[in-house]
């Protein structure tokens, strides 16, 4: 792979910071922007600068937002008494678009990972604790991922909710809709079986 220096090199280096973009893709994107789509590159430049300057975090749920508070923290949503805790903004969008849930959210922007220096503080848990103890929250729905760290985070959150006297639940993980049992891996199947519920 050719090594570019100077401005082109810096552009490629910048593009490589994007998730899922390797050296080859970064080079291809840089050439495309400079050769074929300069107006697109300018649009991207402006959009990025504006987003960096104008998009912050909601102080209440940590979701990205442009105003003092995000739309997911409205009074109507507060009235449901539910807070759904998620690892990232994409998880919020997935729940919002894919389900009928219309309560509030709390976006951790990560998961507990002591080895990487990510503890309760980094995930904003003192703010969640404040919300749980100040009243008005009836249920904490934990929707962290079913990974080792996601499960450890769920355990920690559950303890926090119990200590605050708030009902706590964990989203079910298991067999996908339309899936067939024989093709589901053992870990998922075990999880689904242990999480069974009466019908
Ligand atoms: Zn919010």
The three-class DSSP label of residue 129 is helix
Average pLDDT rounded to a whole number, residues 50-77: 92
Q: Residue 61 C-alpha to ligand 1 middle, in angstroms?
A: 4
Measured in Å, residue 122 CA sits from the centre of ligand 1 at: 17
Q: How far is the CA of 58 from the centre of ligand 1 (A)?
A: 5
Answer whether residue 1 shows pLDDT above 80: no
Mean pLDDT of 116-144: 95
Assess whether pLDDT exceeds 80 at residue 172: yes
Least Cα distance to 93 among 137, 51, 63 occurs for 63
Nearest CA-CA partner of 104 in 133, 84, 130? 84
Amino acid 67: pLDDT: 87
Ligand 1 centroid vs 78 CA: distance in angstroms?
10
The answer, yes or no, to whether residue 61 has pLDDT greater than 90, is yes
Do 84 and 137 form a contact (C-beta atoms < 8 A)? no
Which pLDDT belongs to residue 199? 86
Ligand 1 center–CA 89 separation, angstroms:
11
- 156 Cα: distance to centroid of ligand 1 (angstroms): 22
Cα of 57 vs centre of ligand 1, distance in Å, is: 8
Residue 2 has pLDDT above 70, yes or no: no
From residue 56, give the alpha-carbon distance in Å to each of 61, 64, 67: 12, 6, 8
Q: What is the pLDDT, as a whole number, of residue 179? A: 80
Pairing of strands 139-142, 82-86: parallel
The SS3 call for residue 175 is: coil
Tell me the longest C-alpha to C-alpha distance in the chain.
Answer: 65
Of 5-9, 78-82, 136-140, 192-196, the one with minimum mean pLDDT is: 192-196
Cα(107) to ligand 1 centroid in Å equals 9
Residue 161: the pLDDT is: 96
Q: How far is the CA of 146 from the centre of ligand 1 (A)?
A: 24
- 180 pLDDT tier (thresholds 50, 70, 90): confident
Ligand 1: centre distance to CA 116 (Å): 26
- How large is the average pLDDT for residues 94-99? 93
* Percent of the chain's residues with pLDDT above 90: 75
CA 36 to centroid of ligand 1, rounded, Å = 39
Cα–ligand 1 centroid distance for 73 (angstroms): 4
**R_g of the chain computed on alpha carbons:** 21
Q: What are phi and psi of 192, to 5 degrees?
A: -65, -40
Q: How far is CA 117 from the centre of its chain?
A: 18
In terms of C-beta density within 10 A (0-12 exposed, 13-18 middle, 19 or more buried), how is residue 96 classed?
middle
């Amino acid at each position: 792979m050719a090594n570019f220096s100077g401005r082109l090199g810096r552009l490629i280096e910048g593009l490589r910071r994007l998730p899922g973009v390797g050296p080859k893709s970064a080079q291809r994107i840089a050439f495309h922007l400079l050769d074929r789509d300069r107006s697109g590159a300018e649009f991207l430049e402006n959009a990025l600068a504006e987003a960096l300057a104008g998009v912050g975090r909601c102080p209440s749920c940590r979701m990205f937002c442009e105003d003092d508070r995000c739309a997911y923290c409205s009074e109507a949503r507060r009235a449901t008494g539910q807070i759904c805790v998620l690892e990232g903004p994409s998880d919020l969008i997935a729940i919002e678009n894919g389900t009928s849930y219309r309560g509030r959210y709390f976006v951790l922007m990560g998961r507990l990972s002591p080895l990487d220096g990510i503890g309760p503080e980094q995930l904003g848990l003192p703010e969640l604790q404040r919300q749980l103890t100040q009243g008005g929250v009836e249920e904490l729905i934990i929707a962290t991922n079913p990974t080792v760290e996601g499960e450890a985070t769920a355990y920690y959150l559950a303890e926090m909710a119990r200590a605050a006297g708030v009902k706590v639940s964990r989203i079910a993980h298991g067999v996908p809709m339309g899936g067939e049992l024989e093709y589901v891996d053992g870990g998922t199947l075990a999880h689904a079986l242990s999480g069974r519920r009466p019908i």
